[in-house]
Amino acid sequence: MTLSYPPPAGQRGQRNGFSLMEMIVAGAIFFVAMAGASTAIMGAIQISTRAAVRDALEAAVTLDLNWIRAYAKSWHCQTGPYASCLNSTGGSALSSSALNYQPPYDPNPGSAYQQFATLCTNRNSSSLATPAHQLLIEANAIASGSTNPPPPPLPIPATAGVEQAMPLSSSSLNAPTLAKGYRLYRTITVPTDAVNPNWFNGNYLSIRYYTKSTDAPTLAFQRLASVFVEASSWCP
């Protein structure tokens, strides 16, 4: 007679592999974890890209604004790197202290004094021939290979109120590759002030830098600055 015994307790119900349900549950958990990780990675990449673009915009504004401020400070000074106000008698730059702007009095038409006197007079009228407007005209005419003064990193408009679109891919900006598909916008205006016209009109440049949603849908950027035209400081 053959006797049968039940299997040892540790071997009861033993099987190899996983059931279909276990595989489905494990797969679902895996895909949920991967989706969460992918979302976190994409978010981190977007944040990094926005930071790189914003840094590039800030650098472009700083570079451009520093040039405009330097040019506005030394534009038409008697001595210094951009001297253009000449002595009425000898035709050479005066040897007074650097960044001295007021030309010597000369009643003759066409003299440096009369040219600036006209600009100063016009700043309180509707004329565009004011110190600030003239500065834009001359800055716009600077040749690309000029060394005195050096050319601006971004083109300067000859007319106030013109919106300019400036791609960050411009070689003068040295923007990172991530930012080169974006554009920076700039508008330079010459403000007027009906309350204090003698001190304000025609002597300032108001500069606005900004992005547009069409170029940077996830990045809003705007900076405002004002630049005083130093040569106009002596206007009566």
Q: What is the mean pLDDT of the chain?
A: 78
Tell how strand 204-210 and strand 183-189 pair up.
antiparallel
Of residues 157 and 111, more confidently modeled: 157
Q: What is the average per-residue pLDDT within 222-234?
A: 88
Task: Give the burial string for 141-179 (b: 16+ CB within 10 Å, else e).
Answer: ebeeeeeebebbbbbbbeebeeeeebebebeebebeebb
Domain borders along the chain are 35-234
Q: Output the six-digit token pair for 183.
A: 């554009």
Model confidence pLDDT, tens digit, residues 26-83: 667 766 666 665 565 555 556 677 788 888 889 999 999 999 999 998 888 776 666 6
* Amino acid (one-letter) located at 104: P
Q: What is the average per-residue pLDDT within 10-14?
A: 56
- In this predicted structure, the answer to whether residue 94 has a pLDDT above a threshold of 80 is no
Output phi, psi for 93, to 5 deg: -65, 140
Query: Quick check: helix, strand or coil at residue 62?
Result: helix
Q: Cα separations (Å) of 182 from 47, 137, 170, 218, 225?
A: 15, 28, 11, 11, 21
Least confident of 10-19, 69-78, 134-143: 10-19
Model confidence pLDDT, tens digit, residues 149-196: 889 999 999 999 999 998 888 878 877 777 778 889 999 999 887 666
Q: Output the six-digit token pair for 92.
A: 């050479």
